[in-house]
C-alpha cells in the first residue's frame, strides 16, 4: 500500500497540478481521507479481538461442545484452526489482518474492505487518465516532461526503467 501511495504522489501529483491546482487540492483531500480511513479500519480490525467465548463460566445457550477445545460452544461459534481458539460468530480467518473476523471486529473488517475498494477505484480512475492521455494517446509528444518522475517511460520498446 505504501508503494502505491508514494508512486501516486510522485507521478500523479505533478501531472494533476499542471492541469488544475484547485482540482489537485480536492484530490489530495479526498485521497488523504480515504487513506486515513483505510488505515484506521485496518488497525481496528487487527487490534480488536474477534470475540471469544468466556472461559470457565457456564454458558446457558451453549448446546454443543467444541471437539478441539473441549469447551462449551455458543451458537454460531466456530473453532479457528489457525488461532486454535473458538471465535464468536466467526466469519473467517483473514490472512491480511492475521486475525479472525468475528463478533467484535466484523464491522471494522467490513469498513476496511469498503475503504480499500474505494481507494483502489480512486487511484485507478485518476491514474487511468494520466496513462491514457500521456502514454496511450500520446497527447504530449515531449516525453521529457516525465523526467522528474521516478519512472521514465521508454515508449519505443515498451519497457520502463529507473531514472536514477
Q: Cβ(150)–Cβ(161) under 8 Å?
A: no
83 a catalytic residue: no
Options 80, 86, 94, 100, the catalytic residue: 94
- Residues marked active site are found at 94
Amino acid at each position: 500500500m505504501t508503494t502505491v501511495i508514494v508512486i501516486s504522489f510522485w507521478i500523479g501529483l505533478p501531472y494533476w497540478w499542471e492541469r488544475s491546482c484547485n482540482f489537485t487540492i480536492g484530490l489530495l483531500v479526498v485521497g488523504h481521507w480515504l487513506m486515513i480511513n483505510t488505515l484506521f479500519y485496518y488497525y481496528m480490525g487487527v487490534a480488536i479481538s474477534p470475540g471469544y467465548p468466556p472461559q470457565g463460566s457456564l454458558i446457558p445457550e451453549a448446546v454443543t461442545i467444541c471437539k478441539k477445545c473441549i469447551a462449551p460452544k455458543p451458537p454460531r461459534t466456530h473453532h479457528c484452526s489457525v488461532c486454535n481458539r473458538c471465535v464468536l460468530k466467526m466469519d473467517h480467518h483473514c490472512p491480511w489482518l492475521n486475525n479472525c473476523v468475528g463478533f467484535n471486529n466484523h464491522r471494522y473488517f467490513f469498513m476496511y474492505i469498503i475503504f480499500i475498494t474505494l481507494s483502489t477505484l480512486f487511484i485507478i480512475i485518476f491514474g487511468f487518465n494520466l496513462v491514457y492521455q500521456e502514454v496511450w494517446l500520446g497527447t504530449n509528444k515531449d516525453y521529457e516532461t516525465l523526467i522528474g518522475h521516478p519512472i521514465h517511460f521508454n515508449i519505443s520498446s515498451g519497457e520502463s526503467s529507473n531514472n536514477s
